[in-house]
């Protein structure tokens, strides 16, 4: 018999380290973090922390060493291109105390690709083959230059199309834990109306995590309530309790004539 | 005579701490970080680091203590609403070793607002008046419940409309440094074509920071090159050097008949 997903209660944790001055200056709005967050959640990996740092070796090394020792996996984005400000490979090598050098297999992949396209294999392009000694490639079906893996750190490109392709290549290789099930319940009432009662529902369903997310349409507040649990039955039970709570609040408001508003 | 902006070479640094399970699960795509990053850059404050953590007291306290001792300012978003999962006020109080209690002025503001709107001032709503003892309010023109400031930490709401309004209220109160000037130059050539030459331009213009951002349209790569410096003249000089470099590459490609491609 296959193991029930409920028997697998392993928790696998991860962090994302997004690297790039352009994210901190506001010039580029990050799109990779949200994408990978969704993919990890769906896969059964708990994203615990995200950091964004500049193209600064010391900052990258420090963040990487903090994250890689604390979480099962670290995923980085950005800084592995061919220009002088692409310093992620050097920083990762430094964090692990490894030499950063041209990888033979990567040189050959990139050399072939450029030859095929009649492009000069410039010094800048050769730079994309540099990685910490012994790193394992992450294939790049978009533009060839590979990402790489050192121990639990996965180093990927910052260009969203390439990042997404690399995530797709990496995910099947990861150890995963129990998926977190979630149910979303919409409340037409604001958090101020439901907060006290919702706290009681949370207290009565301790093995679930109930999150409350206010929405503002420019006039009134409503709330999205998200119930999360590793056990789908517990998730359903708490979700039903939340729905019943909303119904009770609706009836009380109708009975007392209080306007339904935040 | 007014001081020239160039005489003000003070550097003021900042970090953002975004708080919320929903950001880490991928359910909500953050919009606050990019907004504040742009505002800080325009204001003359260098955003050096961003962290995203869960609604978890220990994680918030640890990140906050790491960031507030390292940067001039810390800005947080999220977790100051009226529900049980809004624990930012408690975590900030704990980080500073202060009691977290109902603030009289905030209770009065919120009490008045709810009375005016004929809404019950529930226990949940009173929760929004809790903050570390002695905290200074950040006004909230959208939904009244204030953010707050403790020393160099600015605690703001997660709902984007409220966050933006709080940022607007806070920015004029901040000490600012020399604005970083930037110029963007578009290169029709990919990073592989320009990388070596661009590295030389960077080496010749050491007081500027030249960033290279690949763009991929699904077929070919182009590059946006961003030159940044506190001195606008140095910025212009480096920017002109980059433009001349692109022109040289264009002429070489035309002369050699090489296809203009990444």
Residues of chain B predicted below pLDDT 70:
1-9, 257-262
Residues of A in contact with B142 (CB under 8 A): 216
Contact: A85, B40; criterion CB under 8 Å: no
Place A262 in a pLDDT band, splitting at 50, 70 and 90. Answer: very low
| Residues B3-19: tens digit of each pLDDT | 444 444 689 999 999 99
Which string of DSSP letters, residue by residue, matches B14-32? EEEEEE-HHHHSSSS---H
Q: Which residues pair with B101 in a beta bridge?
A: B131
* Per-residue confidence (pLDDT) for residue B120, from 0 to 100: 87
Residues of A in contact with B117 (CB under 8 A): 259, 261
| Residues A229-251: tens digit of each pLDDT | 999 999 999 999 999 999 999 99
Q: Give the pTM.
A: 0.92
Residues within 8 A of B (CB atoms), A 118-137 only: 118-120, 122-125, 127-128
Residues within 8 A of A (CB atoms), B 196-225 only: 196, 198-199, 202-203, 209-216, 218, 221
| Chain A closest-CA separation from residue B112 CA (Å) | 15
CA-to-CA distance for A158 and B34, rounded, in angstroms? 16
Stretch A184-213: mean pLDDT: 94
Residues of B in contact with A41 (CB under 8 A): 25-26
Residues of A in contact with B85 (CB under 8 A): 202, 209-212
Supply the ipTM of this predicted assembly.
Answer: 0.91
Angle, in degrees to the nearest 10, between helices B88-96 and B57-68 = 50
Residues of B in contact with A180 (CB under 8 A): 25
Contact: B199, A120; criterion CB under 8 Å: no
CA-to-CA distance for A244 and B66, rounded, in angstroms? 42
CA-to-CA distance for B199 and A83, rounded, in angstroms? 7
User: With contact defined as beta carbons under 8 Å apart, do B96 and B150 qualify?
Assistant: yes
Q: Searching chain A, which residue's CA lies closest to the CA of residue B180?
A: A25
Quick one: how far is CA B260 from the chain centroid? 37
| Chain A closest-CA separation from residue B151 CA (Å) | 23
Contact: A191, B29; criterion CB under 8 Å: no
Contact: B124, A261; criterion CB under 8 Å: no
User: With contact defined as beta carbons under 8 Å apart, do A86 and A56 qualify?
Assistant: no
Q: Which helix (H) or strand (E) is A66 found in, with range? A: helix A57-68
Q: Searching chain A, which residue's CA lies closest to the CA of residue B21?
A: A211
| Residues A16-45: tens digit of each pLDDT | 999 999 999 999 999 999 999 999 999 999
**Contact partners, residue A238, CB within 8 Å, separation at least 6:** A183, A201, A205, A208, A210, A227, A229
* Per-residue confidence (pLDDT) for residue B256, from 0 to 100: 77
Place A259 in a pLDDT band, splitting at 50, 70 and 90. Answer: low
**B151 interfacial to chain A (CB closer than 8 Å):** no
| Residues A124-164: tens digit of each pLDDT | 899 999 999 999 999 999 999 999 999 999 999 999 999 99
Structural tokens at position B70: 């390292």
- The length of chain B in residues reads 262
Residues of B in contact with A221 (CB under 8 A): 143
Domains of chain A by range and CATH? 5-173 (3.40.980.10), 181-256 (3.30.1370.10)
Whole-angstrom CA distances from A251 to A92, A129, A260 are 58, 65, 11
**Contact partners, residue A87, CB within 8 Å, separation at least 6:** A55, A57, A60, A79
Q: Which residues pair with B100 in a beta bridge?
A: B132
**H-state helical runs in B25-74:** 32-43, 57-68
């Amino acid at each position: 018999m296959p193991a029930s997903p409920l028997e697998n209660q392993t928790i696998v944790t991860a962090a994302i380290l997004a690297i790039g001055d352009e994210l901190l200056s506001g010039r580029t709005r990050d799109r990779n973090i949200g994408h990978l967050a969704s993919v990890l959640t769906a896969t059964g990996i708990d994203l615990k922390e995200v950091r964004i740092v500049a193209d600064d070796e010391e900052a990258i090394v420090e963040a990487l060493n903090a994250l890689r020792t604390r979480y099962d996996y670290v995923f980085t984005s950005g800084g592995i291109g061919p220009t002088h400000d692409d310093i992620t490979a050097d920083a990762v090598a430094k964090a692990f105390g490894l030499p950063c050098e041209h990888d033979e297999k990567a040189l050959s992949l990139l050399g072939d690709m450029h030859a095929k396209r009649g492009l000069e294999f410039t010094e800048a392009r050769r730079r994309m083959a540099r990685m910490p000694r012994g790193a394992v490639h992450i294939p790049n079906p978009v533009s060839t230059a590979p990402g790489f893996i050192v121990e639990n750190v996965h180093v990927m490109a910052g260009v969203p199309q390439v990042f997404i392709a690399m995530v797709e290549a990496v995910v099947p290789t990861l150890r995963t834990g129990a998926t977190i099930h979630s149910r979303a319940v919409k409340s037409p009432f604001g958090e101020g109306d439901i907060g006290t009662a919702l706290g009681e529902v949370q207290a009565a369903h301790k093995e679930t995590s109930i999150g409350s997310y206010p929405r503002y349409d420019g006039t009134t507040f409503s709330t999205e309530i998200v119930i999360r649990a590793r056990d789908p039955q517990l998730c359903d039970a708490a979700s039903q309790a939340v729905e019943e709570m909303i119904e009770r609040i609706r009836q009380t408001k109708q009975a007392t004539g209080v306007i339904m508003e935040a």
